[in-house]
Each structure stands twice: as structure tokens, then as C-alpha cells.
Amino acid sequence: MDVLRRNNVKVVGNPAGRSMLFAHGFGCDQHMWRFVAPAFEDRYQTVLFDYVGAGGSESAAYDPARYGTLDGYARDVLDICQALDVDDVVMVGHSVSAMIAVLAAAEAPDRFGALVLIGPSPRYTDDDDGYVGGFTSEDIEGLLASLDSNYLGWSATTAPVIMGNPDRPALGAELTSSFCRADPEIQKRFARATFLSDNRKDLARVTAPALVLQCSDDVLAPDSVGAYVHEHLAGSRFVKLQATGHCPNLSAPQETIDAIAAFLDSESGTRPCP
């Protein structure tokens, strides 16, 4: 099996630089990093990929048992690191990929030098023990229903035309066909794996230095959840962004880039020389 093809892996940037792996969240694909990843290409070897079932991945490789939990997605990440033979990786995980990064780093601590967690949540649903994730399991059923409704709604529409600005490079045609569009059955399974998981105990297993990037007014990962992650990730750093919503990598790319770069500069300054 060719992992690099299976996960549609794209390696660019500085081949001599430290590897920086960008992992997209639930719902979209590697194009999510379009405004952020290029800023790191001069110093880092940047790696982009799609999880199996998303974007340009090989959907035929989708195995419901493997991807029934986030561990299967963490396995994808470890497969990619192994295929590229990289270590001391900076893994940048957005949304659910923040917890996938936690799982991967807990599983193979030697692979990862630092984690950047954007909008992390170790558990999206509230728990009887007083933990507030922000959602109930009925809310998650509502999400699954809306995936169904929108599959019906979109199945009939043709590929949308890009409303490009001539000064901006047009987004490729492949984007319109894959971005935020995946097999609804796979999406629903990914949604269940994401929103019904509980990774609070996994936070303590991480030893790599980590940055928690918290957005303002993020309905998916409220401030209290970001604070929880910071508190339970030993030695992590917490930065609150001005950016609102759940996707600062799209809505406030520069602020996101600056925060990541500042963390990496200070973090690499404290690392022992090779």
C-alpha cells in the first residue's frame, strides 16, 4: 500500500528544514491550510495530507472498523511519518486533528518535537462529572441529520464556479470537487468518531511541548475547553486569538501564522543543540 498516495500527501518547502505536518479537521481537507502553510515553506519542510475518506485521498482504503475511532486517524498520521521517515515533527492539528495529534504523539513520542493545537477539544459533549464540552448527544444526532439533509441538497447541484479575484490565484478545480464534500456515510462515521470521543485522559500521555491556540467565540471549542486542554497538557502554552469562529486558519491566517511562528521560535531556542 502506498501511504503517500492513499493520504494524498504533498511535501513542499525547505527539504533541509524541520518537518511540519499540517492536519485538517472534520469536514474539509488539506486546502484548509492554503493561507497558512506557505508562510513556513522557507524554513520548514511542510507536509499536507488528507485523511482517508476526505479530499483527494483514496476512498477505497476507507475501513469502517479502523476509522471508527480517532486512533485509526492517528494511525494515518503515524503511517505518513513512517513513509516519509521523518522525526522531530511539528504537528499542527486543527479542530479534531488536535486530539489526533495528541493520540499520535502519545503513541510515538519520538516522532514529534512539538504540537500546535488549534481549537482543541478533548470531548465535545458534556459529562456527568461536571465537564462542559458544549454539546449534548442529541446535538450530535442533529449534526448527523444535517449531513444527511445537505447531502440531498448538494447531490443535485453542479460543481460551483469559483468567484475568483484576478489578483488572487484561483483555487484549483480539484478544490471545488472535493473540499467539504465527501461520501456522506464516511462523513457521518467521522462525525461520530470525532464528536462522541473522549480523549481527556490522553492529554497526560503527551510529553512534547505544545501550543494551544484558542479562538474567540468558538462554538465548537469554547474558552473553558481550551483552558482545560492547556491545564492538562503539561508544559503547554496557551494563546488566545482575536480571531472568532472555529477556523482561524481561514478567517485570520496572519494572526495564526504569527502565533505559531512565535511558539516555534521560542520552543526551538530551548531545545538542546543537536
- Is 218 known to be catalytic? yes
The answer to whether 104 touches 89, Cβ cutoff 8 Å, is no
Q: For the chain, list the strands marked E by DSSP.
A: 10-13, 18-23, 44-48, 89-94, 112-118, 210-216, 237-244
Quote the least distance from Cβ 39 to other proteins, whole Å. Answer: 16
2 vs 217 by CB, closer to other proteins: 217
The active-site residue, picked from 31, 94, 230, 246, is: 246
4 vs 171 by CB, closer to other proteins: 171
Q: What is the DSSP letter of 160?
A: P
113 vs 119 by CB, closer to other proteins: 119
Quote the least distance from Cβ 11 to other proteins, whole Å. Answer: 22
220 vs 233 by CB, closer to other proteins: 220
- Is 178 known to be catalytic? no
The backbone torsions φ and ψ at residue 158, rounded to the nearest 5 degrees and listed phi first, read -80, 165
The active-site residue, picked from 95, 97, 197, 236, is: 95
Binding site for other proteins (CB under 8 A): 25-28, 31-32, 34, 95, 135-136, 138-150, 152-154, 157, 160, 162-165, 167-168, 171, 175-176, 179-180, 195, 217, 219-220, 244-247, 250-251
CA distance 97 to 104: 10
Quote the least distance from Cβ 136 to other proteins, whole Å. Answer: 8
The active-site residue, picked from 29, 50, 76, 218, is: 218
Quote the least distance from Cβ 99 to other proteins, whole Å. Answer: 15
Quote the least distance from Cβ 132 to other proteins, whole Å. Answer: 13
Residue with cell 530551548: 270
Q: Are strands 89-94 and 18-23 parallel, antiparallel or unpaired?
A: parallel
Cell of 7: 493520504
CA distance 67 to 52: 9
- How distant, in Å, are the alpha carbons of 11, 73, 138, 272 from that of 88? 16, 20, 40, 12
Residue with cell 468558538: 218
79 vs 218 by CB, closer to other proteins: 218
Active site members? 95, 218, 246
